[in-house]
Amino acid sequence: MNSVGVIPAQWDLFIREGALEPFPSRKSDTILAVYTEYETDETGSYTFGIGTEIAPTDPLPAGMTSYCVAEGTYVVFTTRKGPVSEIVVEAWAYIWEWSKTHKRAFLTDFEVYDERCIDPANSQVDIYISVLE
C-alpha cells in the first residue's frame, strides 16, 4: 500500500473515468472500496473494487461487476481527520498490527467514503473489518 501500488492506480482510474456517472439511481454519494474474495488472508490474492451502493435490480454497465458485502460481524475503525492519502494508509497499518492479536474473517472488508470526505485534504474514513465471532 503505497503511492505506486495497484490500489492507488485503481483510485486514479476511478476518479479520471468518473465511474459513478452511469449510476443516476445510486442510493447516495457515498463511495465504497471493497476487499473480497480473499484467497487466504491479507498476504494472498483478493479482489478490490471501488463503487457505490445500488439497488440489486439496477442494471450494471458493461465491464462493471457487483459485489455484496457478506453478512457477519465487523469491527469499525474510524481514521483521524486529515489528507485521505495519509489517513487510510495509516489506518491500515494500525489494522495489520491489530490483526496480530485479533481474528479476522477475511470475508469482505470495506472502506466508507461519505460526506466527511468532500475535502480530500481533511477527510475521515470508516474501515469495516470482518471478524470471527
Q: What is the pLDDT of residues 58-108, one digit of tens each?
A: 777 777 888 888 899 999 999 999 999 999 999 999 999 999 999 999 999
- CA dist 42 and 84 (Å) reads 21
Could you count the other beta carbons within 10 Å of the beta carbon of residue 113?
A: 21
The set of cell numbers assigned to 63 is: 465491464
Starting from the edge strand earliest in sequence, which strands make up the sheet with 108-113, in order? 47-51, 31-36, 108-113, 126-131, 73-78
Domains and CATH numbers, the chain: 6-16+27-54+64-131 (3.20.80.10)
Tell whether pTM > 0.85.
yes
Cα separation, 115 vs 10, whole angstroms = 21
CB 70 within 8 A of CB 130: yes
